[in-house]
Chains A and B, each alone.
Chain A
Amino acid sequence: MWERIREKLTILADAAKYDVSCSSSGSNRKNDSKTVGDTGSGICHTYTEDGRCVSLLKILLTNYCIYDCLFCVSRKSNDVKRAAFTVDEVVELTMEFYRRNYIEGLFLSSGIFKNADYTMERLVKIAKNLRLEQKFNGYIHIKTIPGASEELIQEAGLYADRMSINLEMPTDAGLKLFAPEKSHEEVKRDLAIVKNQLTVYNSERKLIKSTPKFVPAGQSTQMVIGASAESDKDILLTANNYYNDFNLKRVYYSGYIPISNDSRLPVIGTQPPLLRENRLYQTDWLMRFYQFDVHEIVNDNHPNLDLDIDPKLSWALRNTHFFPVDINTADYAAILRIPGVGVKSAQKIIAARRFGRLRTDQVKKMGIAYNRAQHFMVCSDSSFQLNTPEPYQIKSKILSEGNSRFSKTAAAQLTLF
């Protein structure tokens, strides 16, 4: 029996690993019942050899699937071993792993067997069992099964901390090409069901404190990058729209890993576009934490992100009129735009300058990347520069300083980090 469980776990973890999200933060479930589990700021319990965080037990309930999406390893026509967990097996694995401090909770997805509702019903059953019978207060992430009924999606939200459904491809046209049965319209419908219900619960909570939790860590989605021909602009504008329209907590970008011999897709053995993926995440951060508008970073003149430099530095080099920023007088938003200065350092600068004008040696110690920042900021002891260097000069100076990945050319995808 153990051998069978081992085999199932191997198959169903392997099939689930292409879902990027492993976040376990953003929820605030307390262990009020004095049983087991709570959620908070999220913990990565380990990292796989690919350097990705392992926070949740991420598995499929089954990899049997009635669909034949070209980019998916579990597609109907793919010749892979199939397996299915029972509800009790998933519950037991989750509890036993959790009690040993291996995980923060469960990430449960599934191939679609029989139909959407039949599958979704089982996912809900597992979450319900964990919450009501095991009194489990750890993190649960449920993937919405496209096309599941509104009632089931709403019920799932009562037990899940986060729900998500993947856009799969950055544009609807791209999706249609690879997965004729799927559409962005369907994704929008499912995201809207949860979003609307969240609004209802949140307004109720203002009146009645005991209103039950409903998807407290919000919703997220994922796009595959590099399977079809979309530009970074297409990808980021789509992300931006979904952030705005559905209050998503996260959009994930997943560099396509070739798993099919279909001629429409990159051939097996092609390196996944890891550097491009990294630049997209950096841009995502600029949009969410650095007060950048997506159009400042990608637009018709600049539809793709630079691979050799990060998007913040790239923006700075295209907007030299904005610099240098005087860190002793500029507002927070302007300091945030200095390449090499992060959120924490910007806050430290604002707090510290109340005690007197800050010198270079003080700012250096606060944790900024000085080799980049020095070209864009002025401290109290900065000397006046007679001739302002050209952007390309700054760029080549920064690149030549050989700081890790910035010195690598875009072609060196293999040795990125």
Chain B
Amino acid sequence: MLQTHENIPLMLFDGSWTGLLTAVFEAFERKILKIRLVSQEHYAENIFDIPILIESQTKKAERVWKGLLKRMDSTSRKHFFYTYLSEQPEAFQHLLDYAIYIFSNKENATKNYGHPDVLAISQIAKNVSRESHRMKAFIRFERWNDMTYFALIQPDFNVIPVIAKHFKDRYADQKWIIYDKKRHYGIFYDLHSIIEVNFDFVDQQYQSASLVKSVEKDPLQEKYELLWKDYFKSTNIQERKNMKLHIRHVPKRYWRFLTEKDLSF
């Protein structure tokens, strides 16, 4: 529940993880436990507001995180981090209120699904988790002729941090890149470790997963794409056709990145 009452003090932070945790610290430091928390990106200026500007500080953030870790089990830690990755304006507010609630109450408060913030965080985390699962499913690598496997994504939430390990564990003997077109960054696995990368050419030239200009695809790439499309068609049972169900499972916004849904050839 986003509180918009103007008498409630407003905190502005930079949208970062450190910033979020610093805001929790400041709330307790200043003993104001009812606050509106807004990230600068989402803030629309209002002449009645006198915002408290939160300066992200690693030390304060670490103290808060340590404290939270003591009060959360592995599931609620995951929920907390996933909710942060949702980048939703209301998520930041829930996280702040949740942290205040957890610090102000006895053990196991994280299990109180009757509490609005506890429930909201479990639900937002579920959405982020679903999106990260979809990325594990829908990522389609194409092979470049230097044997690097490349995939373009545009997820609803910032899920790269939670899918990196899955791909590193699975594809340990091939170089790969997963690039988030929306957030303008990607990760590159070089057979040893994962590094963050930013490519200008991706933003300029990759409109969908199948358009490559400045890099050359492996000459066999198109042939395997074609075989995959053949397979996708042949394994369908026409008599059971159910497009409504199909679209529910594979929403249209993902189609442009899916080899089998690319009808251009």
Does A50 lie within 8 Å of B230, measured CB to CB? Answer: no
Contact of B170 with A by CB under 8 A: yes
Q: How far is the CB of B84 from chain A (nearest CB, A)?
A: 22
Does A2 lie within 8 Å of B240, measured CB to CB? Answer: no
Contact of B232 with A by CB under 8 A: yes
Q: Chain B: which residue is nearest A348 at the CB level?
A: B113
Question: Digit string of A342-362 for contact with B (CB within 8 Å is 1, else 0)?
Answer: 000000110111111011001
Measured between beta carbons, the chain B residues less than 8 angstroms from A47 are 245-246, 249-250
Does B235 lie within 8 Å of A36, measured CB to CB? Answer: no
Contact of B241 with A by CB under 8 A: yes
Known A-B contacts A48-B246, A51-B242, A51-B245; A355 and B114 likewise in contact (beta carbons under 8 Å): yes
Interface size class for chain A? 35 or more
Contact of A282 with B by CB under 8 A: no
Does B227 lie within 8 Å of A351, measured CB to CB? Answer: no
Among candidates B174, B237, B244, B249, residue contacting A99 with C-beta atoms closer than 8 Å: B174
Does A49 lie within 8 Å of B173, measured CB to CB? Answer: no
Residues of A within 8 A of B (CB): 2, 5-6, 9-11, 13-14, 16-18, 30-31, 34-38, 43-54, 57-58, 93, 96-97, 99-102, 255, 257, 271-272, 274, 348-349, 351-356, 358-359, 362, 365-366, 416-417
Q: Chain B: which residue is nearest A417 at the CB level?
A: B245
Contact of B236 with A by CB under 8 A: yes
Grouping DSSP codes into helix (H, G, I), strand (E, B) and loop, the B interface class, with mixed when no group exceeds half, is helix
Task: Mark the stretch among B23-31, B36-44, B60-68, B133-141 that contacts chain A.
Answer: B133-141
Among candidates A14, A274, A365, residue contacting B240 with C-beta atoms closer than 8 Å: A274
Q: How far is the CA of A30 from the CA of B260 in the complex (A)?
A: 28
Q: How far is the CB of A267 from chain B (nearest CB, A)?
A: 13
Q: How far is the CA of A49 from the CA of B238 in the complex (A)?
A: 8
Does B111 lie within 8 Å of A352, measured CB to CB? Answer: yes
Q: How far is the CB of A42 from chain B (nearest CB, A)?
A: 10
Contact of B142 with A by CB under 8 A: yes
Known A-B contacts A36-B173, A102-B259; A9 and B243 likewise in contact (beta carbons under 8 Å): no
Known A-B contacts A31-B169, A356-B114, A417-B245; A6 and B224 likewise in contact (beta carbons under 8 Å): no
Measured between beta carbons, the chain B residues less than 8 angstroms from A48 are 232, 235-237, 246
A-B contact pairs, 28 of them (CB 8 A): A11-B234, A14-B234, A16-B235, A36-B171, A36-B172, A37-B170, A49-B236, A49-B241, A50-B237, A50-B240, A50-B242, A51-B242, A52-B240, A54-B232, A96-B220, A96-B224, A100-B149, A100-B259, A101-B139, A257-B237, A257-B240, A272-B239, A351-B111, A352-B111, A355-B114, A355-B115, A359-B114, A417-B244
